[in-house]
A and B are shown apart, each in its own frame.
Chain A
Amino acid sequence: MEHTNEADVLRQGAIVLVFLAVLSLIEYFIAIAIGAVVLLLVVIIIKVGLVMYYYMHIAKLGEDTTGLDPHGYEYKTGTNRLGLWLFLLSDAFVFGGLAVARFNLLGLNRPALNQLLGLTVTAVLLMSSFFMNRAETSMAHGDRRGFIMGMSITLLLGMVFVAGVLGVEWPSAIREGITPSASAAGAVFFMMTGMHALHVVTGLIFLGIVLHKGMRGLYSTEKHWGVESAAVYWHFVDVVWIFFYPALYLIGKSL
């Protein structure tokens, strides 16, 4: 990051966001107009690829570390990065299992959910990922104000997302008769959204801590693993939703 200029990186982040937004619209269109699952999958893969490459910097895992002091900060960060990704890999299996349960139980049907709400919360989460990326980039370039700005907005959007899912989506679903105990469909819906929301909340706590430490000036251009890890985790939660949103709202025909 050192040699890049902050503005460029920020612009890059913005472009990625535009792409993600457009892709999401295409996805929605495919779902209502054609309903081709394969196409949906393609779009999903592309979105995930974008987030992982540009926001989560998966490429950093491959950085060669020869000649680094094994007790130095840089080498340790490399190790931590590996650890975090291993954790995400492990966590992915929980969500994978939930997806399997969903398709085993409901096949190509889906609960009749409020499409507008779904689209809104999805947009909110995407935005938050964008601002998270801004915050990290700013810190990487020693721009504390930008960092605090980005972090705060991310936190805010995160809370909006949780409020949207738990506070609006759940009650409206229950009013539609989709309750946890009514049917397998209800059970699946609440389990998937609930498990994801749980991760969002832990992410929010993590972000809060990092923001607080950042304000106290505990991070620097060279040493901000705390920020990077919070960011990667937050983007991961977004990636999960990139799978879950279509699985719950788009794929198959509404019950």
Chain B
Amino acid sequence: MRLFYRSALWHGLVWQLIGLVVGALFVTVIRAVMGLQAFGPSLFTEPAWVVGGFMSALAFLAGSGALTDWYLWARGIETPEHREDPEGWEKYLSVSLDHKVIGIQYTVTALFLFLVGGSFALIFRTELAEPGLQFLTLQWYNTFMSLHGIVMIIGILVGVAGVMNYLVPMLIGAQDMAFPRLNAFSYWITVPAIVLLLSSMALGGFDTGWTGYPPLSARAPIGMQMFFLGVFTAGWSSILGGLNLIATVLRMRAKGMTAFRMPILVWAAMATSLITLTATQLIGLSFQLVSFQRLLGMGFFDPSKGGNPILFQHLFWFYSHPAVYVFVLPGLGVISELLPVFVRKPLYGYRFVAMSSLGIALVGFLVWAHHMFASGMNQYLQVPFMYSTLLVAVPTGVKFFSWVATLWNGKIETPTPMLFVLGGIVVFLLGGLSGPPNGTVATDLHLTDTYFIVGHFHDTIFGGYVFPFFAAIYYWYPKATGRRLSEKLGKLHFWLFWPPFLALTLLMMRTGLIGMRRRIADYDPGLGLTWYHVGMTVAAFLIALGTAIFLYNFIRSIKHGEAATGNIWNSRSPEWQVPSPMPVHNYPESIEVVGEPYDYGLAGSQYVTFSKEEQGRTPVHGTH
């Protein structure tokens, strides 16, 4: 425990509180001096809370020590490129510069957010089990529902960052990311962001959903501002993480790793980062504009001042649609990465799969208005956006067909990671196929803002992110810990997770078509949806049970898992050619790429070599 009080996390949190109070008091005093109302119903006034919240994020970063090296740089004091991490679990609470530590910090944070967001879901799912208001007020329902959405989405961004941070440098044979300090900064800024997000519950919550459309968000309680601040700060993690990753892939690849010899996950990570680097700025901007409209009465989205509510939706979705491909591209990359290993066959059509990621990312920039077909946007823009939206199906299809072709004629094994891969493929297929009907204006006018949409995106998100994310954890856990997760519990997890999940989302779509609107705390018994809702709630709890089992497995295996220091999956990629857990600087200098990544079944072929003396273990060939 004493170690904890010395950790960067603890210091950061303490400083965040101090920063909040100082910032808020600062504004309060100024207002008092200017003769304005100094205190509000929720202690401070809105401007005070906003400035306080902003200061609190900076204070956290300063307090945790994520800024120290830059401060020293400004003072002209050189700091070492790499510094030693403390031993044991302590290092995971410290500001480490090692991409593996940061990757794990991200991943654990993502799991935490998944639990929190999931718990919110369990709460309001219980409320929805029958018509009428049982135990939630309207305000709390809206707050839980909105927080569920945004906490889960931030959770995805964090989880994606975790996967990419931990794996990409290993996969390209690098020793670390291009900018280790920036990397640490990108992680640590997410922590105050999460605190801000959750603090909105203490400030009246907010009732706009995760999309925060004005004018509603311009009148919501102060909690709204904390939501804006939280997303804004988390956004910086996304932006800088993407920047770092692109630089890493372009500049740090091992000798001989040409573009088309990169593991497919690296391609996916590049496409993802292109989106986070650029588009994220616009959700930040759109939220900033609403925030200022609230604080200074700037009428960007206020019709009575010549503002335009639709403008917000364009700015917001310009990020938030591409963002959904941020959720899935790395996951689909993981699927493409694992399939060959468990099928013992090369990835079918590697180049097409690699290009499809870029294709999805680029076309994904041109489809945002499909979220606005009913919004009153320009009608003559609807058809072009419909077409561009449907186009995304093409590169996505390429992935599916390649996966099937990879399975074909293989020697398929189904350990837990593979189960999650296969489950993910089916679920994502369902989600994906429910996309085009939304993309077709005429049908979307019926579907929009119903549970059909809710079903659509839970399928895509689970198939494209959640299932692959768990697959990745089951697959690379030994790389990080030197022990493997229990297969028995893993399979149990899967079978508690997959079938109930299918039930959950299919019921969502069904109820949506009949007339179940989104974001309602209570529904008309006349629609006869009660039993569907009971079913969804039960499914939710089964999913939660599966998650709980996974948690137990995850924690228990750290100490008691079966030891696994070698190439247990008999994979070709570089990280498995060195012992687990991964050495601090990953690879000896001499690593070199000499072949194709997925040449399974090609006797004697090699992907990477290390020169004799430093060699970890003899590189494993495709064949046994």
Direct contact of A and B (CB under 8 A): yes
Most buried by B among A75, A87, A97: A97
Neighbour of A105 across the interface among B278, B280, B292, B300, CB < 8 A: B300
Residues of B contacting A115 with CB < 8 Å?
none
Contact yes or no, A213 B246, CB < 8 A: no
Contact yes or no, B247 A79, CB < 8 A: yes
Residues of B contacting A222 with CB < 8 Å?
none
Residues of B contacting A218 with CB < 8 Å?
76
Q: Is B307 an interface residue (CB 8 A)?
A: yes
Q: Is B285 an interface residue (CB 8 A)?
A: yes
Residues of B contacting A87 with CB < 8 Å?
243
- Chain B residue nearest to A75 (CB atoms) is B251
Q: How far is the CB of B369 from chain A (nearest CB, A)?
A: 13
Q: Is B279 an interface residue (CB 8 A)?
A: yes
Contact yes or no, B281 A86, CB < 8 A: no
Contact yes or no, B247 A86, CB < 8 A: yes
Contact yes or no, A180 B178, CB < 8 A: no
Q: Is B394 an interface residue (CB 8 A)?
A: no
Contact yes or no, B277 A191, CB < 8 A: no
Contact yes or no, A90 B277, CB < 8 A: yes
Contact yes or no, A82 B296, CB < 8 A: no
Q: Which residues of B in the span 254-307 have a Cβ within 8 Å of any Cβ on A?
A: 277-282, 284-286, 289, 292-293, 296-300, 305-307
Chain B, 177-217, contact with A by CB distance < 8 Å: what is the 0/1 string? 01100100000000000000000000000000000000000
Contact yes or no, A190 B285, CB < 8 A: no
- Chain A residue nearest to B292 (CB atoms) is A191
Contact yes or no, A83 B178, CB < 8 A: yes
- Chain A residue nearest to B300 (CB atoms) is A187
Contact yes or no, B277 A89, CB < 8 A: yes
Chain A, 98-124, contact with B by CB distance < 8 Å: what is the 0/1 string? 101100110000000000000000000
Most buried by B among A75, A78, A93: A93
Known: A86-B247, A209-B74. A97 touches B315 (CB 8 A): yes
Contact yes or no, B239 A187, CB < 8 A: no
Contact yes or no, A184 B278, CB < 8 A: no
Q: How far is the CB of B160 from chain A (nearest CB, A)?
A: 17
* Complex-state Cα separation, A129 to B318, whole angstroms: 33
Contact yes or no, A93 B279, CB < 8 A: yes
- Chain B residue nearest to A213 (CB atoms) is B76
- Chain A residue nearest to B310 (CB atoms) is A104
Contact yes or no, B296 A79, CB < 8 A: no
Known: A86-B277, A180-B298. A101 touches B315 (CB 8 A): yes
Q: How far is the CB of B303 from chain A (nearest CB, A)?
A: 10
Known: A105-B311, A183-B299, A187-B298. A94 touches B285 (CB 8 A): yes
Q: Is A181 an interface residue (CB 8 A)?
A: yes
Q: Is A3 an interface residue (CB 8 A)?
A: no
Main secondary structure of the interface of B (DSSP, over half): helix
* Complex-state Cα separation, A185 to B429, whole angstroms: 47
Residues of B contacting A213 with CB < 8 Å?
76
Neighbour of A181 across the interface among B76, B250, B277, B296, CB < 8 A: B296
Interface residues contributed by chain B, number (CB under 8 Å): 38
Q: Is B308 an interface residue (CB 8 A)?
A: yes
Residues of A contacting B74 with CB < 8 Å?
209
Q: Which residues of A in the span 177-218 have a Cβ within 8 Å of any Cβ on B?
A: 180-188, 190-191, 209, 212-213, 216, 218
Residues of B contacting A98 with CB < 8 Å?
285
Contact yes or no, A100 B297, CB < 8 A: no
Contact yes or no, A86 B243, CB < 8 A: yes
* Complex-state Cα separation, A189 to B251, whole angstroms: 40
* Complex-state Cα separation, A139 to B416, whole angstroms: 59
- Chain B residue nearest to A218 (CB atoms) is B76
Most buried by A among B279, B286, B298, B318: B298
Q: How far is the CB of B368 from chain A (nearest CB, A)?
A: 12
Contact yes or no, A187 B305, CB < 8 A: yes
Q: Which residues of A in the span 6-41 have a Cβ within 8 Å of any Cβ on B?
A: none
* Complex-state Cα separation, A101 to B535, whole angstroms: 45
Known: A101-B315, A105-B308. A181 touches B297 (CB 8 A): yes
Residues of B contacting A82 with CB < 8 Å?
246-247, 250-251
Q: How far is the CB of B174 from chain A (nearest CB, A)?
A: 10
Q: How far is the CB of B68 from chain A (nearest CB, A)?
A: 16
* Complex-state Cα separation, A83 to B247, whole angstroms: 6
Q: How far is the CB of A137 from chain B (nearest CB, A)?
A: 23
Contact yes or no, A97 B297, CB < 8 A: no
Known: A94-B285, A97-B315. A104 touches B279 (CB 8 A): no
Q: Is A91 an interface residue (CB 8 A)?
A: yes
Q: How far is the CB of A65 from chain B (nearest CB, A)?
A: 8
Contact yes or no, B306 A184, CB < 8 A: yes
Contact yes or no, B297 A83, CB < 8 A: no
Contact yes or no, B281 A101, CB < 8 A: no
* Complex-state Cα separation, A213 to B77, whole angstroms: 10
* Complex-state Cα separation, A215 to B601, whole angstroms: 63
Known: A82-B251, A97-B281, A218-B76. A180 touches B315 (CB 8 A): no
Contact yes or no, A90 B281, CB < 8 A: yes
Contact yes or no, A180 B239, CB < 8 A: no
- Chain A residue nearest to B306 (CB atoms) is A184
Most buried by A among B179, B286, B289: B289
Measuring CB to CB, which residues of chain A are less than 8 angstroms from any residue of chain B?
70, 75, 78-79, 82-83, 86-87, 89-91, 93-94, 97-98, 100-101, 104-105, 180-188, 190-191, 209, 212-213, 216, 218
| 24 pairs of residues in contact across A and B, judged by CB atoms under 8 Å | A75-B251, A79-B179, A82-B251, A83-B182, A89-B278, A90-B243, A91-B281, A93-B282, A94-B285, A97-B286, A97-B318, A105-B300, A105-B307, A105-B308, A105-B311, A180-B298, A181-B298, A181-B299, A184-B308, A185-B306, A187-B299, A191-B298, A191-B300, A213-B76
